[in-house]
Structure 1
Amino acid sequence: MLPLNVNLIKKEIVSLFKQEDHYQDFIPCGVSVVSLFDSVFQHISESIQHSETKDDQQQLQQQLDALIELANEKLLMYPYKDVPACWRCLLMDATLLKSFTLISSMEKEETMQAKKHVARELIKILDVALIVSGGPGPRRREFSLKLLDDLQQWLRPRKTNTQGRHLAINSSATLPIIKHAITVLKEPPDYLWFEQHINQKLATPLHLQCGLMNHWPACTTRPWTDIDYILQLAGDRIVPIEIGSKYTDVCWQQKMVRMEDFINDYIIPSNLDNQQDEKKKPIAYLAQHNLFDHIPLLENDISIPDYCYAEPQSNEWYLQRPPPDVIKHCWFGPKGTVSPLHQDPYHNLLAQVVGRKYIRLYSPIHSSALYPYEGIMSNTSQVDIDDPDLESYPRFAEADYVECILKPGEILYIPPKWWHYVQALDTSFSVSFWF
């Protein structure tokens, strides 16, 4: 097990708050919040020179818990984009100071089991703070990610050349019959040809079966089919998951869990194709999460396709400016996960790393026949593709579509505003690139 330099970690945490007037961020939170935070920070600064007692440590943790709870309550009062910055800063900074107290208590634990328990608690609070707050403040995010990776390596030392448990494709499974195939390219398209294609008045989808992912470590030397490799890298990390077969279901919900619990509870049972277990437990999906921003080591296993750097032109279906950087999302879940028929504003290259997905697409010219919801879910169709109610939505039967089965190592180009329905036919791991 790799050693942790506890004293260095504690000094680095304190140094985060000594290099700028961080209290300016908290002034809108109120005088009492600033006063309590300052008192806690002064005690923590002094404890580097004079070790605090167990009672002092407990009191500090209680005060920090109060600040964290207050910040979380305030965050829930607003839509995320409207949350005042002061509450996000308070959540991040109070969590960092609590990390200091946990590191201190971890150092004093006598058994390795107790030390590991504290380390996992530290990972939990720091991961949640990063996800919820976004990691505001100078050097907060970089330091937190480094500490999280160090703790994960300490708990699960990195191993090489080990044979882990691998996710497998059920080759005997019955697959959907493809009646209206998407255009297939067996050779990589010329870059300029691709740029011209996406800038047509109405671009069309492309099924790229041309080895564009053959060099990815995620498909070769560090395969994401290897469950134990994923656990080694991120088993104790906290990730947001969706519970329910699709987000339009009434019972759909979101929660945060350890990656290991997500894999053990949802991924492995599904991969074993145990139908009884699948019916007892609802489907869970790690969906549309920027996992690479959260666990940067995973990004070393992929490459952004060159086609993402084409220059999109504005038109009827692509009205906004391209994002400053390629937007990357991960989609990891068991067989049966569904993304209901919906549309996105950007050009999308969907890369399939593990498992297979059935995907059906409708042109945006058919939008009215797909009966979008009104309001906040206007990018989602009311039609259930698996069981369409043609009495309620009669024009749906007239809408033309194209479809494919996306296999490991293949990429699907989805033009902006094209409606798409996605169903995992196996345990699946995909990466989408918006540009």
Structure 2
Amino acid sequence: MKIIVDNVLQHLESSLSAEFDYRNVHEALDFLFRKSLNDSHTENTKVALSSVEAVLEKVWESFHTGSWADVPDGMRKLYSHASLLKTKLLLKTANDERMLKKTIKAIDMGLLMGNAFRNELTIAASLLCKALQQTFVEVPVKLCDNSKSNNNSYAFHRIGDHVPILHQPSLETFLRDYLKSKKPIKITGNMEHWPAINKWKDLNYLIKLAGARLVPVEIGSSYADADWSQKLITLEEFINIHVVQEGEKSTYLAQHQLFNQIPELKDDIRVPEYCYLADVDGEEPDINAWLGPKGTVSPTHYDPKNNFLAQVVGSKYIILYDPKWSEYLYPYDDKFLKNTAQVDPVKPDFCQFPNFSHVKAMHCILNEGEMLFIPSGWWHRVESLSVSFSVSFWWM
């Protein structure tokens, strides 16, 4: 473990020696950060740590003043830089298991909230997780009973057409019959070579590989609800408290770029070859993770990009609507929710949304090893029928 920690410290030192100037961002914070950096080269580790934590706290306060989109890039860069320094100082303080986990949290805060030194922070987190793996003790993880279906969703089977299914369609067939014509299709047989198909069923694998990593989760049945919120939690806590057993409130790791944060997990998946039929040559798809217990719901919405939803663990029930029905789905007027429907197709209120009665839907159950192509602009509601781990690939 000590060898790995020493390697991390050496790795960080070169990054911390880079030139910087944050005076145009915040002169007082620039001064305080320089002081903590200078103190880090002395025996004043505790003083330096106190100073850099003060910087992080002040920057954090600025993040929560006004809109996130309006946060200056320089402020986010300072947060990354200060997180890098905090990592070094924590490792100089101690290198036991508790301190390693605390350090990994500091790194992830820099990755999730900052916008710089991503490669340095990612490598440091990966190395420290490897050190933790040396002390990992496997504990039996038993999933809660998730075999029972959701009656509300299954009642919907009486309405709408089933999404067509193809087994390993050629690129030419997919391009001609589905991509160009913007029609949904469920594809089978294209995930058999994914290591994730077997590895991710073992929750101990995820905990051992990345249990100490900090991830954002959504709390509440729908992001459109007033009581919906978000928080940061370790992957191990999330799995043990919200996935293995059903918590009081639905909690979902949703639409998170987990594979950028934890590259080791990206080694377990493969980008569908169909994504490379993109209009924009050379552009890699946006890859997001969706992990949660039975019953998590993404309300009816549309995305501006094409989407391949790949089901790795468990199953999901998906309802889709052609963009031509947009008006009858009653999108929210709010600019942040204009791509989300007010009407719930599982329990529609026809008094409030009378035109919804004219809408025709498509639907399918997406099982392990299957992918669903959702064309851009198509409305879709997604519900987990069991503990579920999915990967989405967004592309133009």
TM class, shorter-chain normalised?
A: over 0.9
Q: Which residue of 2 aligns with 1:152?
A: 129
Q: Which residue in 2 is equivalent to 1:316? A: none
Give distance in 1, aligned partners of 2:287 and 2:89: 35
Aligned to 2:365: 405
Cα distance change on mapping 1:174 and 1:5 into 2, 3 Å: closer
Change in 2 beyond 3 A, CA 1:297/1:164: farther
Q: Following superposition of structure 1 onto structure 2, how do residues 40-119 of structure 1 map, counting pairs within 5 Å? A: 40-45=36-41, 47=42, 52=43, 56-107=44-95, 115-119=96-100
Letter aligned with residue 117 of structure 1: R
Q: How far 1:13 moved relative to its partner?
A: 2.0
1:120 and 2:101 are equivalent in the alignment: yes
Please tell me whether the aligned partners of residues 307 and 374 of structure 2 are also in contact (alpha carbons under 8 angstroms).
yes
> Kindly, what percent of the aligned residue pairs are identical?
34
User: Is the Cα contact below 8 Å between 1:334 and 1:427 reproduced in 2?
Assistant: yes
For the residues of structure 2 that align with 1:3 and 1:181, how far apart are their CA atoms? 59
The reply to whether residue 28 of structure 1 matches residue 17 of structure 2 is: no
Residue segments in structure 2 that go unaligned for 5+ positions in a row: none
Shift in Å, 1:225: 1.1
* 2:173 matched residue in structure 1: 193
Tell me, in whole angstroms, the C-alpha distance in 2 between the residues paired with 1:362 and 1:416.
11
Report the Cα offset of residue 347 of structure 1: 0.8
5+ long unaligned stretches in structure 1: 108-114, 271-277, 313-320
**Native 8 Å contact 1:168 1:225 kept in 2:** no
Residue 141 (structure 1) shift: 1.4
3-state DSSP of counterpart to 1:376: coil
Provide closer, same or farther for how the CA distance between residues 414 and 165 of structure 1 changes in structure 2, counting only shifts above 3 A. same
Q: Are 1:360 and 1:422, in contact at CA under 8 Å, matched by a contact in 2? A: yes
| SS of alignment partner, residue 24 of structure 2 | helix
Match of 1:275 in 2: none
Answer whether contact 1:166 1:225 (CA < 8 A) is retained: no
Quote the offset at 1:99 in angstroms.
1.2
Q: Whole-Å Cα distance in 2 between the matches of residues 311 and 86 of structure 1?
A: 33
Structure-2 separation of matches of 1:74 and 1:243 = 24
Query: Could you list the runs of 4 or more consecutive aligned residues of structure 1 that deviate by over 6 angstroms after TM superposition?
Result: none
**Secondary structure in 1 matching 2:14:** helix
Aligned position for 1:311: 278
Question: In the alignment, which of 258, 261, 266 is matched to residue 242 of structure 2?
Answer: 266
Take 1:96 and 1:311, find their aligned partners in 2: how far apart are those partners?
37
Pairing 1:341-356 to 2, within 5 Å after superposition: 341-356=300-315
Cα distance in 2 between the residues matched to 1:322 and 1:371: 35
User: Alpha carbons of 1:414 and 1:297: their partners in 2 closer, same or farther (altered >3 Å)?
Assistant: same
Distance 1:264 1:166, change over 3 A: closer
Helix, strand or coil at the partner of 1:269: coil
| Structure 1 residue matching 2:244: 3-state secondary structure | helix
Q: Which deviates more, 352-361 or 173-182?
A: 173-182
TM-score norm. by structure 2 comes to 0.92
User: Which residue does the alignment assign to 2:119?
Assistant: 142
Q: Is the 8 A contact 1:27 1:86 kept in 2?
A: no
Q: Please report how far the alpha carbon of residue 154 of structure 1 lies from its aligned counterpart in structure 2 after TM superposition.
A: 1.4
* 2:162 is equivalent to residue 182 of structure 1: yes
Q: CA contact under 8 A between 1:340 and 1:384: conserved in structure 2?
A: yes
Cα RMSD (Å) = 2.3
Assess, with a 3 A threshold, how the Cα gap between structure 1 residues 192 and 325 changes in structure 2: closer, same or farther: same
Please give the alpha-carbon distance, in whole angstroms, between the structure 2 residues aligned to 1:216 and 1:163.
Answer: 25
SS of the equivalent of 1:287 reads strand
How many angstroms apart in 2 are the aligned matches of 1:255 and 1:174?
27
Partner residue of 2:182?
A: 203
1:346 positional shift: 0.7
Closer, same or farther in 2 for the Cα pair 1:86/1:167, shift >3 Å?
same
Residue 3 of structure 2 aligns with which residue?
4
What's the TM-score, normalizing by structure 1?
0.84
Task: Give the whole-Å Cα distance in 2 for the aligned partners of 1:218 and 1:163.
Answer: 20
Map 1:246-285; keep pairs closer than 5 Å: 246-270=222-246, 278=247, 281-285=248-252
- SS in structure 2 at match of 1:29: coil
Give the alignment partner of residue 213 of structure 1, picking from 191, 204, 224.
191
CA contact (8 A) 1:157 1:232 kept: no
d(CA) in 2 for partners of 1:288 and 1:78? 23
Report SS of the residue matched to 1:22: coil
Q: After the TM superposition, which residues 8-19 of structure 1 pair with which residues of structure 2 at under 5 Å, given as runs?
A: 8-18=7-17
Q: Number of residue pairs matched?
A: 390
Deviates more, 1:425-434 or 1:116-125: 116-125
Provide the residue aligned with 1:387 in structure 2: 347
CA contact (8 A) 1:329 1:433 kept: yes
Q: Does 1:300 align with 2:267?
A: yes
